[in-house]
Each structure stands twice: as structure tokens, then as C-alpha cells.
Chains A and B, each alone.
Chain A
Amino acid sequence: MSALLRLALASAWNRRLSLGLTLLAVMLAATLLLSVERVRQAARDGFAQSVSGSDLIVGARTSPVQLVLYSVFRLGEATNNLGWDSYQKIAADPAIAWSVPLSLGDSHRGYPVLGTTPGYFVHFHYGDRQPLRFAAGTAFAGIFDAVLGAEVAQRLGYRVGDKITLSHGDGGLPGMEHEDKPFTVTGVLAPTGTPVDRTVHVGLAAIEAIHLDWIGGAPVPGFAIGAEVVQKFDLTPKTITAFMVGLHQRGEVFRIQRRINQFADEPLLAVLPGVALDQLWQTVGVVEQALQTVSWLVLAVGLAGLMATMLAGLNERRREMAILRSLGAGPRHILFLLMLESGVISLLGCLLGLATVTLFAAFGGGLLADFGLAALPLAVDAAEMKLLGGVLVCGLLVSLLPAWRAYRLSLADGLIPRS
């Protein structure tokens, strides 16, 4: 038996080119399958943890998904704002520990601008209750101060002390710049893997200040209020886009939610971020399934390659098998040899794929950050073991056909191959 194994090894080495290519195909398939799985997991986790620590997010009445989309992900625009006085009334509830107003609508070179209060940097959490950290500088203090998300600062090359100007709306129209009122960068946040990285943070008063001389979404011609005199105006906002709420007692969340949803002065909506994020993920889940389907297809292609290589190799191996039989090998040994070969290739493919993914997870983190993904998990979990086991089983199943054919051939050929 050991003689047979040694011969099998020598025979495989003799066919190392085609076997190597097959191994490569299986390895790539396993790599793809594993990385899709990990990216999916990381995306899902990152997504579900875009905001944590807030018990409720409140905005003008719309759909919960819509509210989360624009308030958390800064995607799309709010159809309606809510009144500052409503916010004040709700925030005064003794059950509410803290609240942070959010005001959206302007942008800086494609990145959304968020008007908020310094409390944002204290109360906003992401991931597993991680607070925001400053990579440099501090929170805004003056009216025309700005704090940049990590990606904004990195992509646009800003540092603390730089001057930036904001654009009205999404910045798509010319002449809609707030260029008369430049901002000074006072802080840059550390990367979070959440939409915070893509946000320019300014004070609520700043949003008011840059729109003082604007009416109906456009600057009033011949009327300008200089940056130096804005202090003389009342910079309390009349409306905000949404606000985040933290409670003293988590148990009261449904009571407060009901109270806000039934608020008499204007129609409001309060959502639990986790629930809304889950709903949103359901709609994004189609992409996830498509990704998985593609990687399974790639695996199928890799295994089909394995089968084709083995089948194509059979004819030239008939003589080899006849020689082995004359030396005392039985047909079952032939069957075993072929199954062993494809089994080893599948196993090696899985291991190499795993190694590739692990190396990538360990050293390719920077690349992933560009896609807004947190670091991939390094360790193999049970789901991945199942996946790899599946690949292995598929590899063995696929080799059944060529192995069975070789078995039949060696039975029919006996000692004299009819080629």
C-alpha cells in the first residue's frame, strides 16, 4: 500500500502542471467563497453597528427605513424637517437622559455636512458601544469650526487648521457655495468604519449662520451678511432634520417611542435603530445573496475543471493503471488512487484558500477600509469550517465520476490496455 502511495505521488508529480492549474482553480474558488463570506459578515456587522448607544432616532414622519437612511447613513434627503420647539419639548421629558440634534442638507465636495452639538462626540457610539475618538484636534467650539470624519480628512488631505467652504445641498449646482463663510478644521476623528468617516461635522449655529442671507434655498442677490457680524443674529435653528435620544432606563423605550409617535404638535416618527437597521439590511440582502451565488458558481467552475482534468488524464493513464495491475494492484486500488488524488487537491485548495484569506485579513486591512469595511475577522468560525467541509465533499463527489470510469476501464482493460 505504501508502495502504491509513493507511486501515486511520483505519478502526480509527473502531471504537476495540469494538477497545479487545477489546484489553483480550486484554491481561487475557496478563497472567493471564504472572502465573500467574511466580507458579508463584516458588512453585516458594520452595518448593524453603524449606530449604537442611542435608544431612539426621531425625525419627521416618514418610513423607518427612510429615516435611518438619511439620519444614520446620510443617504438621500429628508422629506420634512421637524420643528426646534418640538425637539425642545420632547427633550425635556425626564425619562430622557440626553438628546443630540442632527441637521443635514449641506455638503463639502460630495461629503455630507452634519450640524449638531458637541454632545454628539460624547453620546454617539458605534460598533460594540465604542465612542468616537479624535485622531487630532478637538470638538468644534466657535461658530465656523468643523470636525472631519477620517475618510474626509484622508481623501481630501485636510489637517487641523485648514480652511474649507461648504456647498449648499449636494453641491451639484454652480454658484451654490457658502464661500463667504469659510470654516476652520479643529479636529479629525479616528476611523470608525461607519458613515461618520464620511461626514463633516459643524455646530448647529453654523448651519443657521451660513443660511442667514439665503431665502428659499438660494442666496439673495445684493444682500450679504459677513461672517464677522453673524454673532449679532439669533442663531437658534428653527428646524432640524432628526435627533438621537438616550434614555435613563432602556425599559422605557417603548413608552417614549409611543409618546413621540403620538406627539400632538406635529407628526413625528421614533424608531429603534437596531430594528430599522435590520429592516434596511433585508432590502440590501439581495446583493448579499447575489454575491454568494456568484462565489458558489466559481466553486462549481473550479470543481468542473478538476473533473475535466481527471477525465482527460484517464486515457494516458490507462497504461500506468495496467502496469499497476500487473504488479498486483486491484481495481479498488485504482479507485482509491483517483479519489485520493482529487481529495488531496480539494483539501490543499481549501487550505491554500484559507491561508490566502487569512493573509489578506491580516495585511490587507487598508484596502478594506477604502470600502468602508471594518477589519475582517482573522479566526475561522464554525460556519467557515462548514463551508470548507462542503468544498471538500463537493471535490470528492466530483471525482466520483472519473474514478468510477477509471475503475471500469481497469476492469475491462485488465493487463492489456486497448488504446
Chain B
Amino acid sequence: MNAAAIRIDDLAFRWRPDGPLCLTLDHLAVDAGKSLFLHGPSGAGKSTLLNLIGGVLLPERGRIEVFGQPLGQLSGAGRDAFRADHLGFVFQQFNLLPWLSVLDNVLLPCRFSRRRADRAGDPAVAAKRLLAALDLDATLAGVPAAELSVGQQQRVAAARALIGRPEILIADEPTSALDTARQDAFIDLLLAEAKAAGSTVVFVSHDERLAVHFDQKFALTAGVQP
């Protein structure tokens, strides 16, 4: 059975109760194991949508299901735990805690989620395997994250997001700090590892050129219809 990994219906969100609508979305579904490219201009609500999928924000109206679990039915703490167990994140930049070593950064999700730790098997081994798969030298494992280049930091972030094989990998403009040549290489690595982990990918970018890498494509439009 090919269940939807993420399913969104009739969604509306606004920051303030008396403010304008920031985001409306009639329907969006991503199948498990597929990759979605989400694009749109600045202010179209991309970050808001990620926060909604992550369970950090709640919609004013509508329904978000992640692997059949309606997020609206979970408590705040329940959504926090759900996020820790099932979602991995890669941000635009500054993904890492600079005072922790590369290895400790990658292991963070296993410290916060029992499930991720269990699924990783031996977390340290899994972390080193991921780092190697993402083209990071083994000697970097003990180095403080602050000493890495931006490109290296993004690959460490990808390893952290993928450890313990979360069902969903969310990447928010992870390539915008990289030069063009390295963007494609990074996306290829990320998608290959996500496939190996069996994770569904939601990839956000304003750069439509990158869409060719993904199974599915969805455009958020700025200026919300009331």
C-alpha cells in the first residue's frame, strides 16, 4: 500500500487572529518515499508551511496528516515528540551547534528521540557511515563544527537529519549558501541518502532550476486568495 506521507487539505493560516491570511492551500499530498520540490517567491509562506508540517505552528483551519497522524489531534508536547521521532531537518545555514564536535552534532537526534536511536542501531557507527557517505573525511568527526566550511557544515546537517532514518526529511533552502556547482552535487547526495534511509523528502527552494531532481513539484504563490 502506498500511503501518503504528508497530506494537507483545505489549509489556512494567519499569524494574528485579526491579521491577513498568510497561507492557504487546498490540497497537497506526497507519497511515502517520494521527493517533493516546494518553490515560490519570498513571502509565499514556505517557512510557514514547514513550521506547520513540523507541528510548531497550528493552522487556523484545515488538516495536516503525517503518515496518517493528524497533527491537530496531538498536544503541544505530543507534536514536539512526534517531530523528534519522525522528522529530520536541514536548514538554510547555521544548522550546527558550533561548540559541539561534528560527530556530536550528528548524534543529536538520537539523544532526543529514543526511536531514532533505536532505528540507527549503533548511533556512533551509523553517524560515521552517514558522514562517509556524504563525502566527509573521517578525521573531521572530532573537530568542532565551527571549524568546518559552509559546504561541509551542510553535509553534516544532512547526516544529522538522516540519522535514525526519520520518515520525513525537510530541507529548507539547504543549498542557498553553496555555489552552483556544489548545489547539484549536494542535492544528489541528499536524495541518494534519503532514498537509502527510506525517507520522504520535502525540499524548499526559491530556485526553480533545481526542480529537475525531484519526483514532484508544487508551487506556493505569493498573495493569498481570501
Q: Is the Cβ of A415 less than 8 Å from the Cβ of B89?
A: yes
Q: Is the Cβ of A330 less than 8 Å from the Cβ of B91?
A: no
Q: Which of B112-145 contact A (CB under 8 A)?
A: 112-113
Q: Which of B50-58, B185-193, B211-219 contacts A (4 or more CB under 8 A)?
A: B50-58
Alpha-carbon distance between A416 and B173 when the two chains are bound, in angstroms: 11
Interface residues on A, range: 20 to 34
Chain A residues near B54 (CB-CB < 8 A): 326, 414-415
Q: Is the Cβ of B113 less than 8 Å from the Cβ of A414?
A: no
Q: Which of B96, B100, B112, B172 sits near A10, CB closer than 8 Å? A: B100
Known: A416-B47, A416-B91. A328 touches B97 (CB 8 A): no
Q: Is the Cβ of A330 less than 8 Å from the Cβ of B80?
A: yes
8 CB contacts below 8 A, A to B, read A10-B99, A11-B99, A326-B54, A327-B109, A328-B83, A330-B77, A414-B47, A415-B172
Distance in Å from the Cβ of A1 to the closest Cβ of chain B?
A: 10
Chain A residues near B80 (CB-CB < 8 A): 325, 328-330
Q: Which of A305-326 contact B (CB under 8 A)?
A: 319-320, 322-323, 325-326
Chain B residues near A10 (CB-CB < 8 A): 97, 99-100
**Residue among A3, A10, A327, A331 with the most chain B CB within 10 A?**
A327
Distance in Å from the Cβ of B72 to the closest Cβ of chain A?
A: 16
Distance in Å from the Cβ of B42 to the closest Cβ of chain A?
A: 12
Is there a chain B Cβ closer than 8 Å to A7's Cβ?
Answer: yes
Is there a chain A Cβ closer than 8 Å to B95's Cβ?
Answer: yes
Is there a chain B Cβ closer than 8 Å to A14's Cβ?
Answer: yes
Is there a chain B Cβ closer than 8 Å to A13's Cβ?
Answer: yes
Q: Which of B56, B99, B100 sits near A415, CB closer than 8 Å? A: B56
Chain A residue with minimal CB distance to B96?
A323
Chain B residues near A329 (CB-CB < 8 A): 80, 112
Known: A414-B54, A416-B50. A327 touches B97 (CB 8 A): no
Alpha-carbon distance between A328 and B76 when the two chains are bound, in angstroms: 11
Alpha-carbon distance between A11 and B99 when the two chains are bound, in angstroms: 7
Known: A415-B51, A415-B54, A416-B91. A323 touches B113 (CB 8 A): no
Known: A7-B97, A320-B97. A328 touches B84 (CB 8 A): yes
Alpha-carbon distance between A4 and B109 when the two chains are bound, in angstroms: 11
Q: Which of B47, B51, B84, B95 sits near A323, CB closer than 8 Å? A: B95
Distance in Å from the Cβ of A381 to the closest Cβ of chain B?
A: 42
Known: A415-B54, A416-B50, A416-B172. A11 touches B76 (CB 8 A): no
Is there a chain A Cβ closer than 8 Å to B61's Cβ?
Answer: no
Q: Interface 1/0s, chain A 327-338, versus B by CB < 8 A?
A: 111110000000
Chain A residues near B56 (CB-CB < 8 A): 325, 414-415
The 7 A-B pairs with the shortest beta carbon distances in the complex, nearest first, are: A328-B84, A3-B111, A14-B99, A414-B51, A414-B56, A326-B89, A330-B80
Q: Which of B91-105 contact A (CB under 8 A)?
A: 91-92, 94-100
Q: Which of B84, B91, B98 sits near A327, CB closer than 8 Å? A: B84
Distance in Å from the Cβ of A6 to the closest Cβ of chain B?
A: 8
Is there a chain A Cβ closer than 8 Å to B197's Cβ?
Answer: no
Known: A328-B112, A328-B113. A415 touches B50 (CB 8 A): yes
Alpha-carbon distance between A6 and B107 when the two chains are bound, in angstroms: 13
Q: Interface 1/0s, chain A 1-31, versus B by CB < 8 A?
A: 0011011001101100000000000000000
Alpha-carbon distance between A115 and B112 when the two chains are bound, in angstroms: 82
Alpha-carbon distance between A415 and B95 when the two chains are bound, in angstroms: 11
Alpha-carbon distance between A415 and B100 when the two chains are bound, in angstroms: 20
Chain B residues near A11 (CB-CB < 8 A): 97, 99
Alpha-carbon distance between A326 and B55 when the two chains are bound, in angstroms: 10
Chain A residues near B95 (CB-CB < 8 A): 323
Is there a chain A Cβ closer than 8 Å to B29's Cβ?
Answer: no
Is there a chain A Cβ closer than 8 Å to B108's Cβ?
Answer: yes
Alpha-carbon distance between A233 and B80 when the two chains are bound, in angstroms: 102
Q: Interface 1/0s, chain A 405-419, versus B by CB < 8 A?
A: 000000000111000
Distance in Å from the Cβ of A245 to the closest Cβ of chain B?
A: 74
